[in-house]
Amino acid sequence: MKGGLEKMGAQGTPGRTKEDEGACGGKAGAASRRLSAPLWVRSGGLSNLLFRCSLPEHLPSHGEEPREVLLRLYGAILQGVDSLVLESVMFAILAERSLGPQLYGVFPEGRLEQYIPPFPSCPSPLTTLIGSWVQSRPLKTQELREPVLSAAIATKMAQFHGMEMPFTKEPHWLFGTMERYLKQIQDLPPTGLPQLNLLEVYSLKDEMDNLRKLLDSTPSPVVFCHNDIQEGNILLLSEPENADNLMLVDFEYSSYNYRGFDIGNHFCEWVYDYTHEEWPFYTARPADYPTRGQQLHFIRHYLAEIRKDKTPSPEEQRKLEEDLLVEVNRYALASHFFWGLWSILQSSMSTIEFGYLEYAQSRFQFYFQQKRQLTTLHPKS
């Protein structure tokens, strides 16, 4: 989801119980038949609803069942039903490899996941073992630029990119998804909706062709990508000493994709803060896009993890860095385009209070601004 964000405005209905959602299997199965504590929105997102579910204190746990779980209810399904099945399989694989939260159960409208409590108010020892209860918090937008955290994120991303997953390795996800979004927007009822105006104002159909031509001329390895590494999807498990202290969550958009998109998308997320409490419930600061120095800091730690068994010469290292700078900044354009289309579509169907059209316009404005800058700095080869 474009989230795991902290920006949900509505609270859960007091008195609503687990029985209202139906029973689930897995380790949480017994609890699902005995859970009577109220549910409330723990944190929100821009696609799904997340609830924290707890056993009442007077009820003992059975076996290894957890006392708390995270209930995820799917919102508007833009990826298609098949993608939800793939995501659940992916979620289970990553949990088994200790690279994500545990999966306790699935059902047609959502799933039950490991609930990872926030940091306590006073310091206490924290465990970073995924299989046991850990304490965590999502990162904040301004923390993405902190050198120690940025280096740890780069290393974590490189490790994620190095995974082998049992999914198709053809990189159809990016343009396949954008083409589907564009068609869905074009198929909206002709009611003079502003969603359609954005298509015309920015000539998005023609512009997508221009973007495809640019990226076709931009070499980028196909790796297993998260595709949404923003602050709300990065949990800090303890003090940020290295990548082991971070956990990536929310794999709704994960797929084999071009490496440049994952890194470029992350750089774009330095700009957007989704915790703003007033309309449109986000802030955009284009000046916060990482500088060349900040990008190189990230890229060097990323390459160090990818190539940890190889030591390139200084000349080779400089070429790797320069090539990757061009690659990720071109693919950052694809990030703006992807989430711009996503947000236009969400505005027509989502019930979550968020300025989707404003966000889409912001992404496309930044797209054209960065495109002009790239044309000046790195003429198309």
Rama region for 192: left / alpha / beta (φ>0; ψ in -120 to 50; rest)? left
Residue 223's Cβ-side half-sphere holds a number of Cα atoms within 13 Å equal to 19
* Residue 147 confidence (pLDDT): 96
Nearest by Cα to 211 from 332, 324, 326, 295: 332
* Residue 205 confidence (pLDDT): 95
CATH top-level class for 78-101+119-377? alpha beta
Give average pLDDT by consecutive 10-residue segment, the chain, 381 residues: 39 31 42 47 61 88 87 70 75 81 86 77 33 67 97 96 92 96 88 74 95 98 97 86 84 94 98 96 97 98 93 95 98 98 91 92 97 77 47
* Residue 135 confidence (pLDDT): 64
- β-bridge mates for residue 273, sequence order: 283
Give the burial class of 116: count Cβ atoms within 10 A of its Cβ; 0-12 exposed, 13-18 middle, 19 or more buried. Answer: buried
* Residue 242 confidence (pLDDT): 74
DSSP state letters, 220-255: --EEEE-S---GGGEEE-SS-SSGGGEEE---TT-E
* Residue 80 confidence (pLDDT): 62
Q: Return d(Cα 19, Cα 103) in angstroms, integer.
A: 19
- β-bridge mates for residue 258, sequence order: 222
* Residue 26 confidence (pLDDT): 46
Domain boundaries in the chain? Answer: 78-101+119-377
Instruction: Say which amino acid occupies 168.
Output: T
**Burial annotation 354-367 (CB, 10 A radius, 16+ → b, else e):** bbbbbbbbbbbebb
State which H helix or E strand residue 53 sits in.
strand 49-54
* Residue 286 confidence (pLDDT): 96
The pTM (predicted TM-score) of the whole model is: 0.78
Q: Return d(Cα 7, Cα 74) in angstroms, integer.
A: 16
Q: Return d(Cα 70, Cα 368) in angstroms, integer.
A: 39
Q: Which residue shows structure tokens 């000349």? A: 315
* Residue 77 confidence (pLDDT): 55
Residue 150's Cβ-side half-sphere holds a number of Cα atoms within 13 Å equal to 22
* Residue 101 confidence (pLDDT): 85
| Tens digit of each residue's pLDDT (9 = 90 or more) over 49-62 | 888 888 888 888 88
